[in-house]
Amino acid sequence: MLRALALFAVSCLTIFNADLTLGQSFINPDVPDFFGTIMVEVEGEPISFGSGFVKTAGGETRFVTSKHVIKLEDEDLLSAKFRIFLKKSVLEVQALSSTKWNAVSDLAEIILPNATLHPAKIASELRIGDRLVIYGTGTSPKFWGIARGYYKHNPKKDLWQHGVAVRVAEMDVTGCMISTNLCKDSLRAFFKQEGPEVRYVMVTPQKEVPGGFSGGPVTNQRGEVVGIFLGGFAGEKRHEIILPLTKAAHAP
């Protein structure tokens, strides 16, 4: 079940150089500077990961991702950290830090105090037929990625950042139009609450979008972020869904 992370007021940020192991970078140089992989660690061990991007809002630097990526059990909050892998740095943020989210959608924003980073440019214009790119964290058997390069693990497939091209297929999509399952009580709070219902955009990918892409930025042909990737939903055919970055789709 998707669940939200509570809001806390303590902030702690540590920044490391990205080239930490054997002089090799484990970050794909072709991804945008504002893109990042977020790893959830509990007691020093990575337990889940997803994607996101850096933006500025109200004079603050924030990392935007999906709420379901950073969900934590209450008993894990004290020992948990978020580790964010950007092209030029690795950020370490205590889970008991300032995390905000949109009340009616699967969106979270982690405040990065005193961080000087390259933020994304945000745009809201989308049309059916637009060609976009989703950036996220997938796997690769041939690249030296985050698992080996940072955590010293030796998996058959390493974590690797890359982009997947998609095309806008449908606009103004409601949660129930995506899947009848999203109308069930267990998920209703994410997709339909009091006030205006959030509308989504359905896209058709050129190839399968990995699960680790959740929270990743969706960019237009100018490199502006127009949405965040939420995930795919099975049905007669798989639909990939993004949350467009309208004014209603931001954390306060």
Which pair of structure tokens corresponds to residue 137? 């964290």
The CATH T-level fold of domain 13-111 is: Thrombin, subunit H (2.40.10)
Provide the CATH number for the domain formed by 131-249 in this structure. Answer: 2.40.10.10
**pLDDT beyond 90 at 114:** no
Would you say residue 219 has pLDDT above 90?
yes
| Residue 215 CA to its chain's centroid (Å) | 2
Read off the amino acid at residue 206: Q
User: Could you read off the pLDDT of 161-192 as tens digits, one per residue?
Assistant: 999 999 999 998 876 666 555 555 445 555 54
Question: 127-136: string of b/e by CB count within 10 Å (b at 16+)?
Answer: eeebebbbbb
Q: Read off the pTM.
A: 0.83
Domain boundaries, the chain: 13-111, 131-249
Alpha helices in the chain (DSSP H): 146-149, 175-178, 185-191
- Segment 37-70, tens digit of pLDDT: 999 998 888 888 999 999 998 788 999 998 888 8
